[in-house]
Amino acid sequence: MQTNSNGIHTIEKKAKEDRYQHHDYYNIDELLDDDHLLARDAVRTWVKQSVSPIIEEYSEKAQCPTHLFKELAEIGAFGPSLPVEYGGGGMDEIAYGVIMQELERGDSGIRSMASVQGSLVMYPIFRFGSEEQRRKYLPKLGSGEFIGCFGLTEPDHGSNPSGMVTNIKDDGDAYILNGSKMWITNSPVADIAVVWAKDEAGKIRGVIVEKDMKGFHAPEIHGKWSLRASITGELVFEDVRVPKANILPEVVGLKGPLSCLSKARYGIAWGAIGAALDCYDSALRYSLEREQFGKPIGQFQLTQKKLAEMITEITKAQLLAWRLGSLANKGKATPAQISMAKRNNVNMALEIAREARQIHGGMGITNEYPVMRHMMNLETVLTYEGTHDIHLLITGMDVTGLNAFK
């Protein structure tokens, strides 16, 4: 705050200074190797330089900082755990995790830009694509020359993608694609879309649709109060002729898109910790600097309870993510384990954002502090990549052996 010439307190408008300090209550850094720490610190520095100074303004204006796609590519945020020869970073799953954590410390929308490009576009082309498709698309996606998006959700089929109606019909050397997709991150700015559609036998197939294909449109969705620095749109297909060479040959069925989701959900389990850490860090600092009743508000027991519970929950989430990463490195992380971590860590981050907002009092609703932006973003993160309740039911199914979806 500052005081104006009339002696009235006003909010000080100055270039944003990112005062974030990392918090590692259980010395989890000791579980990370030098490559993890190097990758994490490089991304942390980049976020301080390139994201923090602009993110409030872009969020306020609901604009996507598309210039950051190239920079994200340069810091290795696209497909960190995919092979280098296919445009990835050649690192392990924990490196991928800590990179997502640092990006989401900046903003969930920035992490989304990287999650979609790496885990939902590059990964399916790498895992299920032909060698020709890999060579054609992956280097361009890895370098940020191409932007990709992932089309699974439809207007009438969100949690239940198996009900999708988007379809392909055989037409000689091509498929004719019809239908629409909803809530697609990056779609209005994407060069290619990995689209999931049913063939004439009702089997789910993946196709790569290029932006210039006739009959393909990607209008933007406006009016979001959440993830405002991320661009979201639809995908509309009206008799789009997609060459047969663009079908992903190596997978048939819902396990194709769901495998990509496992990869992205894993990244979100780490990413959410970043948002939580930023809220906690801001709340802790504010509690030491803000005085009421003649003492710092951090001296009141109720504030200490909030802060103590926050760091406890963050620490539990960090351990969960690290253990999940260790399992993933051995190829042993199950989809249900990933669901548990995504659900727990995102919910943890959202609750911490709400508590942190309270600690900041009225200032907590302003863009002087990052907490309200994180809180609004996390409402989306709680819903996309499988809602909070869908992940609960996945855990329920895993422990009981009984399927609540059928």
Catalytic residue IDs: 385
Query: What is the residue type of 381?
Result: V
CA-CA-CA-CA torsion sign (243, 249, 254, 259):
negative
Q: Which does 115 bind (CB under 5 to 8 A by kind): ligand FAD, ligand TGC, none?
A: ligand TGC
Angle in degrees, CA 222, 227, 233, rounded to 5: 40
Instruction: Return the one option of ligand FAD, ligand TGC, none that residue 242 interacts with (CB less than 5 to 8 A, by type).
Output: none
* Among 261, 317, 324, 348, interactor with ligand TGC by CB under 6 A: 261
Judged by CB under 6 A, does residue 69 bind ligand TGC? no
In the complex, what is the shortest distance from the CB of residue 32 to ligand FAD, in angstroms, rounded to a whole number? 29
Contact 342, 301 (CB under 8 A): no
In 128-173, which ranges are E strands? 148-151, 167-171
The SS3 assignment for 208 reads strand
The item of ligand FAD, ligand TGC, none sharing an interface with residue 261, based on CB under 5 to 8 Å by kind, is ligand TGC
Give me the residues that bind ligand FAD (CB under 6 A), please. 116, 149-153, 158-159, 183-185, 227, 232, 380, 383-385, 387, 389-390, 393, 405
- Find the shortest distance in angstroms from Cβ 328 to ligand FAD: 22
> Rounded CA gap, 299 and 317, in Å?
26
Q: Which is nearer to ligand FAD, 39 or 149 (CB)?
A: 149
User: Which residues, including other chains, have CB under 8 Å from residue 77's CB and lie 6 or more apart?
Assistant: 43, 99, 103, 114, 118
Binds 143: which of ligand FAD, ligand TGC, none (CB < 5-8 Å by kind): none
**To the nearest whole angstrom, how small is the minimum distance from the Cβ of residue 384 to ligand FAD?**
4
Q: Do 314 and 276 form a contact (C-beta atoms < 8 A)?
A: yes
Dihedral sign, CA of 267, 149, 75, 382? negative
Shortest distance in whole angstroms from residue 376 CB to ligand FAD = 11
* Interaction site with ligand TGC (CB under 6 A): 112, 115-116, 150, 152-153, 159, 161-162, 185, 253-255, 258-259, 261-262, 264, 335, 384-386, 390, 394, 405
